[in-house]
Amino acid sequence: MNQTNWYDEHACSLDDFERDLAQEEAHPPRHAASIQRGIPLYDCAALGRDLSERMALQAEWAEVLRAGAGVLVLKHAYADTAPIDDATAVFEDIIRQEREQGTSRADHFAKAGANDRIWNAQEKLCLHAPDVFARYFANPFLACMAEAWLGPAYQMTSQVNVVRPGGAAQEAHRDYHLGFQTEEEVRRYPAHVHAMSPFLTLQGAVAHSDMPVESGPTKLLPFSQRYAPGYLAWRRADFRAYFEAHCVQLPLEKGDALFFSPALFHAAGANHTRDVQRMANLLQVSSAYGRAMESVDRARMCEAVYPVLSESKSTGRMSDAEIEAVIASCAEGYAFPTNLDRDPPSGGLAPSSQQALLREALHEGWPVERFTDALRQHAWKRIT
């Protein structure tokens, strides 16, 4: 870093990078079932559905992503993989429909057509199959992980990626926000913004198929998120060569979930198999205080999923915690921005959020028509 508080790509030091990677962890993860190739793995069956040590576990996960390995795996996050299979069937239908429409899905770091990609899979799954969406995102481990890194009112988005046999590997990179800007743009942001960027998003992937190493699960460089100027360094040939020489890959089973800091150096691996269609639902979760990468019509999602949640609550098919997880993955949890002339603070410092409206409707058992009218009125209040 120079004296004016800006980073310079040419000043990035591979020696400094190696030293940052080699630092011992101040707080080794004690809840992990095992450490494989530097990456902590957590046994979700042992953690329990009630997540009785939730805050201690969340503190540990946040420390792992911030200063530890930068990545962790939740083994068997879906003990029952039926929601995975049902969502896979919906995603395959969407891929087929979009392919028939001739839609080309360009990727951030791979050639268009190299993968099957569904952008905004979050909204598409909800609108195509709200019951499947609700069962899929009722998962308490996804919600617990998102809150551990981002706190409440996070914004869930997702993109489905299918890498076919022969699919090429990506090059090492960092992710959104600063990771998706050019080197010239990144240099304009002061050092403290580089430090802030990883805390605005969480990267995750739910395995929709078994992923042996030869199928190309994500290549990861543990501890690489520690290197402060890394949003400039990852493009350099020497850093990419170091990544390829030292990165690790872990096999995943269907129903496992991988989470990592967006500042971690990573890249999708090459699919060297003949018959494995590697499918993952890539979760990109955004802080309430940041801007998500994708535009999502959360009002339409709420309208689609409300009858499912209402029925699930009245019959006891879902627990309160599961319903909360679905609400968090669907509705907007932050009250701002809004039009304060129409939507003044209600009983506090902020107006009511979309999530609060959805909770109120479920608690009071509103009919669908009443909720739909209230949702539209809520949206009207927020425009100028």
Tell me whether strands 71-75 and 39-43 are parallel, antiparallel or unpaired.
parallel
Which strands form 34-36's sheet, in the order they lie side by side? Answer: 34-36, 39-43, 71-75, 257-260, 201-207, 278-286, 155-163, 115-118
On whether residue 106 sits in a domain, the answer given is: yes
- Both 65 and 111 in one domain: the answer is yes
Residue 2, in any domain of the structure: no
- Tell which of 216, 251, 286 closes a domain: 286
- Which candidate, 113, 136, 114, 122, places its Cα nearest to that of 94? 122
* pLDDT tens string 148-205: 999 999 999 999 999 999 999 999 999 999 999 999 999 999 999 999 999 999 999 9
Average of pLDDT values for 201-214? 98
Cα–Cα distance, 191 to 144 (Å, whole number): 30
Please tell me whether residues 344 and 213 are part of one structural domain: no
Is residue 292 in a domain?
Answer: no
In terms of domains, do 183 and 319 share one?
Answer: no
Give the residues across from 74 on adjacent strands.
42, 257
Cβ pair 286, 155 in contact under 8 A: yes
Place of tokens 């927020």: 382
Q: Do 189 and 282 have their domain in common?
A: yes
Does 116 reside within a domain? Answer: yes
Angle between helices 368-381 and 354-364 (to 10 degrees): 160
- Closest by CA to 318, choosing from 134, 183, 193, is 134
How many percent of the chain have pLDDT more than 70?
95
Domain, as residue range, for 368: 298-381
Q: Are strands 115-118 and 201-207 parallel, antiparallel or unpaired?
A: unpaired
Is 326 inside any structural domain?
yes
Q: How confident is the model at residue 208 (pLDDT cuts 50, 70, 90)?
A: very high
Report how far residue 346's alpha carbon sits from residue 352's, in angstroms, rounded to the nearest whole number. Answer: 6
Looking at every residue in the chain, the average pLDDT score rounds to: 94
Instruction: Examine residue 259 and state whether it is found in any structural domain, yes or no.
Output: yes
Domain identity same for 281 and 305: no
Q: What is the DSSP secondary structure assignment for residue 254, as one 8-state letter?
A: T
Q: Which of 224, 259, 286 is the last residue of a domain?
A: 286
Residue 216: pLDDT above 70? yes
55 Cβ partners below 8 Å, 6+ apart?
none
Q: Do residues 218 and 347 share a domain?
A: no
- Domain identity same for 75 and 116: yes
pLDDT at residue 110 in the model: 53
* pLDDT score at 63: 97
Residue 11: alpha-carbon gap to chain centroid? 31
Distances (CA, A) of 207 to 56, 78, 86, 88, 267: 26, 10, 13, 10, 16
In Å, what is the CA distance from 331 to each residue of 125, 130, 169, 286, 334? 14, 13, 35, 13, 9
C-beta of residue 331 within 8 angstroms of C-beta of residue 298: yes
Same domain, 61 and 183: yes
pLDDT at residue number 69: 98
Final residue of a structural domain among 265, 286, 307: 286
Nearest-angstrom CA–CA distance, 267 and 251: 15
Write b or e for each residue in 78-97: b if 16 or more Cβ atoms lie within 10 A of its Cβ, otherwise e. Answer: beebebbebbbebbbebbee
Same domain, 139 and 248: yes
Instruction: Assess whether 334 and 252 both reside in one domain.
Output: no
Cα diameter, the chain: 63
Q: Which two tokens stand for residue 263?
A: 């500042």
Return the pLDDT at 109: 47
First to last CA, the chain: 43
Helical ranges in the chain per DSSP H: 14-22, 44-47, 54-66, 82-100, 121-128, 130-137, 140-150, 183-187, 191-196, 230-233, 237-246, 298-315, 320-330, 354-364, 368-381
Residue 123 sits in the same domain as residue 272 = yes
Whether 3 maps to a domain, the answer reads: no
- pTM here is 0.94
Is 242 among the domain residues? yes
Q: What is the pLDDT of residue 348?
A: 78
Q: What is residue 27's predicted lDDT score, i.e. its pLDDT? A: 86
- CATH value at residue 156: 2.60.120.620
CB 257 within 8 Å of CB 141: yes
Is 309 found in the same domain as 160?
A: no
Q: Residue 232: pLDDT band by 50, 70, 90 thresholds? A: very high
What's the token pair of residue 143?
Answer: 């919600």
Quote the number of domains for the chain. 2
What count of other Cβ atoms lies within 10 Å of the Cβ of residue 10? 7
